[in-house]
Structure 1
Amino acid sequence: MTGPAGLSTAGSMCSGYGGLDLAVAAMLGTRLLWTADNDTRAATCLAHRFPAAPNLGDLTAVDWTAVSAPDVLAAGFPCTPISSAGHGLGLDDERWLFDDIADAVGRMEPHPRLLVLENVARLLSVNDGHAMARVVHRLATLGYVGRWRVVRASDVGAPHQRARIFIVAWPADPESTGLEIRRQGRPSPGAASHPPHLRHQRDRHTREGRPGPPHPRGPDAAPSTGQAHRPAHHGTRWGRYEPAIRRWEHLTGRPAPHPTEPAPGGGRRLAAPFSEWLMGLPTGWVTHVPGLTRTGQLHLIGNGVVPQQATAALLDLLPAHLIPAPAHHWEERAS
């Protein structure tokens, strides 16, 4: 299958459970050539869900000159150096992998025609904005321009915020000047620290008549009938979260699983299928993968991206000539 503008293949780095890859495939109809993730839990999930795409493992140890270059490269590079949980060292953290990703792109022939990057929103402010500046500078050095914006999972109806920054970049043309800033709602944290050559652009999709991001639904979503989705009947009392839970049930077409399960030592503990549902994944995408413990499932789910959230970001950030109509549906299914 060939997507818009001839984009037919994709590669994936720091893939996790493949949430960003699901969004890329949904929007562009790409076939996944390979993944690159050395986390054993991610490798187990990727092998089960994308059996035709070999996992190249540690991206810093790959000879990228010998790898088939994809049309689209997706990378949800590690957030640990950026997040407060990882002490927020950013560029000073040895786990900062963006420069390794940029080096890999520079060695690919030909260079990918589209880059799709994702991280936590704190990328904008860590190192007083210098981490984001490094990302922009490296992309420019490689000859790319693009756009970025922060999208929350709640922006597509999920019952949690999970703000993430999405960056989309493509080879520059002679009139390009750099990455355009896309803000959603109030200005993003750390905006005053952005390099001066970043251009701010207000909701360009509205000025050009392009509709704003929809509420993308998961691959198992039921057709919209205008009727409320029938809630689950496991007796859960959601309290003040009731409207948010019911909204996500309606948008995904799936009832919320029970949020807890019996713990081995007595009492209750968080149920992994509920966390999976919160992330907008098909039922069993992670929890039905053979060989993954509950701890491994929760690790993957906790580090992932909501595919609907990423799809909405792509719909807004892709240049007009790359937006397909209609968008493709996810082809990977849980089993």
Structure 2
Amino acid sequence: MRIGSLFSGYGGLDLAVQRVLGGRVAWHADNDPAATAVLAHHWPDVPNHGDVTGIDWTGVEPVEVLTAGFPCQDVSLAGRRAGLAPGTRSGLWTHTAHAIHTLRPRLVVIENVRGLLSAPAATREMEPCPWCVGDRPGPVLRALGAILGDLADLGYDARWCGLRAADTGAPHARFRVFVLARARTAAADPHHLGRPRPRDPRQRWSRPADHDRATANTEGQRRHQGRPEPARQQRRPDAALGGGLDWGPYAAAIARWERRLGRPAPTPTQPGRRGGRRLAPRFVEWLMGLPEGHVTDVPGLTRADQLRLLGNGVVPQQAASALCLMQPERTSEEVAA
């Protein structure tokens, strides 16, 4: 089974899909230089098609599974809340939908932040409610609703769930929304027979966005990095840094994740350039449930590159559990095995 990966990052969503469904990664599509370095390091023989906005999908190898963790900046609670409107980072969803429209994979796996549940999609030709007439203010469609609607128009039935990383044992919350969409078949949907090929979803988003309404949240102007909050740690006065740490009320959570990953927590801080201590990328890598060195051992990445990739990435164990929830025929015990 071939897997195509959009907005691949360090490949966390792909690792989860392989763990649950098997298969191999056929290609990536990510133009971030740091992500490109990680992908080339771990998947040297897998082509990277780069910027999704410039890809001719008719010339790309077909895949059975398509994964996409498209940018979250404009739907995040810490972002501009501009939704999926054209010209926004999160508006790159339209290119994901176009890839689905052209490639017709059997399964689509999507991951994004909690803001999908509350951020407005964009201006749509709909009233706010069935009983409203006129220009009543307020969003009329949430981002997740738009995504599910586009998938339905493309001929896909979808399930979605929200899950915290902590629900799978991680020592941080990191709530994420996951969507699993399955292509309809003639047997499953006889009424779909004879329908014309679904229209290109890019046509749906041709109207300009109402940016004044979409950016009403004035507290979210800073750029979202998605970095998980590190667990607090205290140091006993007689303990050497890097050993004997007292994690206080988080000790049980840290120990649980250590058992899950099969290795101890790294030192959470490292010396700063101007003295003092600062967050260590290896600790964040451990928090994200990745193999040791998956990002931090890739040559040429700065500390800022590592933290940005890790903060915006996917916890593979969390995504794998979400996939199990969305397809009941698979159990958590089967995945753990």
Which category describes the TM-score, using the shorter chain as reference length? 0.7 to 0.9
Question: Residues 13 and 35 of structure 1 are in contact (CA less than 8 Å); yes or no, is this contact kept in structure 2?
Answer: yes
Does residue 96 of structure 2 align to residue 101 of structure 1? yes
Cα deviations by residue, 1:80-124 (Å, 9 ceiling, x for unpaired): 11112221111235212111110111122xx10000000001101
CA distance in 2, matches of 1:175, 1:87: 40
In 1, the alpha carbon distance for the partners of 2:328 and 2:246 equals 44
Of the three residues 258, 261, 264, the one matched with 1:252 is 261
Q: Write the deviation string for residues 290-331 of structure 1: whole angstroms up to 9, x where unpaired.
A: 1111110000000011100000011111263x77994498xx
| One-letter code aligned to 2:92 | L
Q: Offset at 1:235?
A: 2.1
SS in 1 for 2:159: strand
- Asked whether the 8 Å contact 2:242–2:267 carries over to 1, the reply is no
1:282 aligns with: 291
2:57 to 61, 64, 67: 64
**Which range moved further: 87-96 or 29-38?**
87-96
Total equivalences in the alignment: 265
Sequence identity of aligned pairs in percent? 51
CA 1:325–1:114 in 2, change beyond 3 Å: closer, same or farther? farther
SS of 1:168's partner is: strand
TM-score norm. by structure 1 comes to 0.75
The residue type paired with residue 279 of structure 1 is M
Does 2:317 correspond to 1:305? no
Change (3 A) 1:268 1:57: same
In structure 1, C-alpha distance between the alignment counterparts of 2:106 and 2:245, rounded to whole Å: 47
Give structure 1 stretches of 5+ with no counterpart. 1-7, 178-231, 330-335
1:142-181 equivalence runs, <5 A: 142-173=154-185
1:236-286 per-position Cα deviation (integer Å, ceiling 9, x unaligned): 221221111111111111100000000111000000000000000000000
Give me the whole-angstrom Cα distance separating, in 1, the residues matched to 2:258 and 2:293.
16
The CA deviation string for residues 191-218 of structure 1, in whole angstroms up to 9 with x for no partner, is xxxxxxxxxxxxxxxxxxxxxxxxxxxx
Give the alignment of 1:1-335 within 5 angstroms.
8-92=1-85, 94-95=88-89, 96-108=91-103, 111-127=104-120, 128=139, 129-173=141-185, 234-318=243-327, 320=329, 326-327=334-335
Distance in 2, Cα, partners of 1:17 & 1:255: 22
Tell me the secondary structure at the aligned position of residue 273 of structure 1.
helix
Alpha-carbon distance in structure 2 between the residues aligned to 1:34 and 1:47 = 11
* TM-score, normalised by the number of residues in structure 2: 0.75
Superposition CA RMSD, Å: 2.1
Could you say which structure has the larger radius of gyration? 2
The letter for the 2-side match of 1:134 is: A
Mapped to 2, the partners of 1:70 and 1:245 lie a distance apart of 38
Structure 2 gaps, min length 5: 121-138, 191-240
